[in-house]
Structure 1
C-alpha cells in the first residue's frame, strides 16, 4: 500500500499531534488510547507523518517476527 492508501484507512479530525504539539491544531488520527487512573480515557492523536512512521515500525516488526501486518490498526482497542 502507498502512503495515501494507508492514511485513507483512518478517520481524520483536527487535533494536536502527540509528537509535534508546537504545530498547533492540524489534521490528526487516533494512534492510541491511554487510561489514566485519575481521569477518563484519552485519545493520543498523531499527524500524517507520525502515523506513517508508526505504521512503518509495525510493518518492519511484523516482517522481522514473521507476523501478520495489517495497516490501519493504530489506536484500535482490543479486549
Structure 2
C-alpha cells in the first residue's frame, strides 16, 4: 500500500506532533492515548510519524505471521 493510501485512512486535524513539537501546528492524527490523571489525552503524530509507526506495525505483523491492516493507530488492540 502506498504512503497516501495509508494516510487517507486517518482523520487529520491541526495539532502538535508528539515527536516533533518544534514543527508547531501541522496536520496530525491520533496515534494513541496517554492517561493524564483521571482523563485521557490524545497523542497526535505528523504524517512522517504515522508512516513510521505503520511501517513498524507492518514489520511486526510479518515477523509474527499476523495480518497487517493499516489505519488504526490509537484504536487497535495491537
TM-score, scaled relative to structure 1? 0.92
- For these two proteins, the number of residue pairs brought into alignment is 77
Q: Say which structure is richer in strand.
A: 2
CA shift for structure 1 position 39: 3.9
* Aligned counterparts of 2:28 and 2:55: Cα–Cα separation in 1: 17
Secondary structure of 2:39's partner? coil
| TM-align CA RMSD | 1.1
* Aligned counterparts of 2:75 and 2:63: Cα–Cα separation in 1: 22
Stretches of 4+ aligned residues off by more than 6 angstroms: none
Which deviates more, 13-22 or 39-48? 39-48
Q: Deviations over 1:7-47 (max 9, x none)?
A: 000000000000000000100000001223x2411000000
1:1-79 residue pairs with structure 2 within 5 A? 1-36=1-36, 38-76=37-75, 78=77
Which structure 1 residue ranges, 5 or more long, are not aligned?
none
Which structure 2 residue ranges, 5 or more long, are not aligned?
none
* Aligned counterparts of 1:77 and 1:64: Cα–Cα separation in 2: 18
